[in-house]
Chains A and B, each alone.
Chain A
């Protein structure tokens, strides 16, 4: 059965093909269209719509005036569908040969060829890869096709992911959908720094509801729910390098930290807080300032009796000795670790991320040097409001931090970032260029759209309007691991997981004690 024609190519050039829309052809911005070529076909995408008319402008103006002024209510164009129409500007995004070979189009589709809307069959090359991470269903304009979009998680995560969008466009819903599919498999370890406590599902559905959650999900919170872990990190787990690029220290303070660390190793913080004298190399004033900084960031201080105390519930001198090791181990076993940082200040959140990310990054560096990295799972770090650590201003003021190091070098060691941000323009181009998958959600800020388009894996230079018109849950996936920038509809997490939820069996327990 012949598929319905939606329009016909009438003019244009590479990247700007003009199509006259058939009356009722329903071409939308973002629509995927197909031009057939003797068994092969080209997939095209509409990015701009404008009116076309055979009737001169003056005549149209006159006709409108007569209707508006009540002089000819019954007046109309003769054969209006022939004389007035919509011109769609489209671009070719992929050529599929007879033997299903995929190529970036280097020639124009045949002149005057008809086009039609894409069908599921046209997209059969979108198969489920190994280590699949689910992103949603293919979307053509606002129509959703029954074609699932997966990306190979190992490829995608080591090459970093950027999720740019303004508030309310469905960033966290997307990440939850992605992580749900990660939970179903081995080989992908994800550290999620969760400043809004929205991934685990404390108050509703969340990753905790996955059937593999018991084995593959760890949740740390300062306010844990039964069965989950208290977020508590021993101050002895903190190395001076963990503060790098996160907390500002003067040169004198840095020198003092180095001296204390060299002298006291893992008890360096405790000794600074105690003000242990290590000679004239460190001025008393420097120590006083460091004490105040540690009090602010870590909540550690000396009480009136001279005992070392931790005010914060997160950093402790008596608990949390194994926390970072347990988290690192879980990530190395391909598990998802969510750290609820919703009750922490920015610096504390980033510091905790730094401690864990540094740990895993340096372990993976060692694995690479001793030749055992191959067998290790990919590890990715989800960081919200990424410019806090990847922003150009932050990097120039404080220097590199572990997150920027991962963004630049992590690929070699199978460690990646999933950076979420509203403000892409703050991140240096060199880092954006390293983020080889961008899952672009709606963004009304022109400068932000521009920054995304300029660094995308595919040419999105004509997609400004398409991105601006993305509705909640709609996204464009531009990746080195997709053959074209795929428009997707991300399912609502609650709907997506519904079919996977199974009632829990209640077994009678025989208690032995």
Chain B
């Protein structure tokens, strides 16, 4: 019997706050220790090992030291790019670590007759076969899934793991409904285990032909929403999968580095002064010692400004009471007297989408195509085009021309230019 560990979305380097940064590294160290203790034969990290493709060197160094220990225990670490540590030209920290042999990137592919044929990596010890597709910014990896030569992969014999970093439409949480995702039907069928990443909530599910799709969720926190989820009870950790020629057991191992406390407060029917006083009184009574306290403030103030309920004052109080850190979520807070633009969401595309649709009405234009949902969609399409990256071997001039051409087409200005 063999074993492998599956984790993802470690987002090392995401937290700039020293306390959270320390906890983030602690979670990673604990996860790596767990892999060694469990004597796994290899580790699969399904994207976003780092929060950026060139992360802060201090945290990168700490992570590398820990991975070295795993490597020294003869446990290979297989990785794919996530949407954060992706690099279009192979210059991510992932590539550097791959070059040193510390980790192995299991993504390789070529275009054969218009189809993307992915390479299969075989783990030398277990003979498990690993295939990966990296995540890209704004769900652009979907294009690769659409042309994937699934049949070729489905014919491959042996114990097979498919690693990817994309939300699955059928499995994403409802609050991520607007997030770019791929339908499960784009995954090749018949793999023994689908090692997924990108969605920060844990999910184990399956469909006919795709029996075991597992999202381990974030290891600690890439966003403050992850801390909120943890405070509401979401467990963070690593999957350890036992297998021989098929999966025998899938076991989740919790990786906890601190305690959490969640506090939600509704300001409705109170003015800013009343709400602040009441909130601080209530927060003063909670057990904050050695915990990350997540405070969610929502509702509409009957008067006063939202800024009068100060995050720093709340944080100060909680830290005075021994909290490790306080995370204040005020996105749902509004006031009758004061309206501000709110941005809520898991990722940038979601926020952009929401902001554009909610606020397009404030832009006064006479052209019908620029108004309402049409205008918002046009802006989103344009943003998507402007985000296109330079292809390998593409000259800068050709790249600029290509983006310009797509943008002009999107704007419907072909005849004007």
Contacts and interface: CB of A to CB of B under 8 A. Distances in A.
Interface in B171-205: 171-174, 176-178, 183-186, 203-205
B356 to A, nearest CB: 13
Interface string B185-228: 11000000000000000011101100000000000000000000
Interface in A300-324: 313, 316, 318-323
B178 A512 contact: no
Contacts of B144: 509, 511, 513
A333 B203 CA distance: 29
Interface in A319-365: 319-323, 325-326, 329, 332-333
B377 interface: yes
Contacts of B171: 318-319, 321
A313 B210 CA distance: 13
Interface string A489-513: 0000000000000000011111111
A511 B373 contact: no
Given A227-B186, A506-B114, A513 B205 contact: no
B234 to A, nearest CB: 14
Interface in B96-151: 105, 107-111, 113-114, 116, 132-134, 136, 143-144, 146-147, 150
- Give chain B's interface residue range (CB within 8 Å of chain A): 35 or more
A224 B170 CA distance: 12
Contacts of A225: 185
A364 B394 CA distance: 47
Contacts of B371: 375
A229 interface: yes
A287 to B, nearest CB: 27
Nearest to B201: A321
Interface residues of A, number: 35
Interface string A135-153: 0000000000000000000
- Secondary structure class of chain A's binding surface, majority of residues: loop
B177 to A, nearest CB: 4
A158 interface: no
Nearest to A229: B183
Contact of B169 (A229, A506, A512): A229
Given A323-B170, A508-B111, A228 B183 contact: yes
A318 B199 CA distance: 14
Given A226-B150, A229-B185, A329 B170 contact: no
Nearest to A233: B170
Given A321-B173, A375-B373, A230 B205 contact: no
Q: Report, nearest first, the 3 A-B pairs whose CB atoms are least far apart.
A: A513-B107, A325-B177, A375-B372
Interface of A: 186, 224-230, 232, 234, 237, 313, 316, 318-323, 325-326, 329, 332-333, 375-377, 506-513
Given A316-B205, A508-B114, A513-B133, 10 more contacts: A226-B185, A229-B183, A229-B185, A319-B170, A319-B171, A319-B205, A322-B177, A325-B174, A510-B111, A513-B107
15 contacts: A226-B185, A227-B183, A230-B185, A313-B208, A316-B205, A319-B207, A322-B177, A325-B177, A326-B169, A506-B114, A510-B111, A510-B391, A511-B111, A512-B88, A513-B134
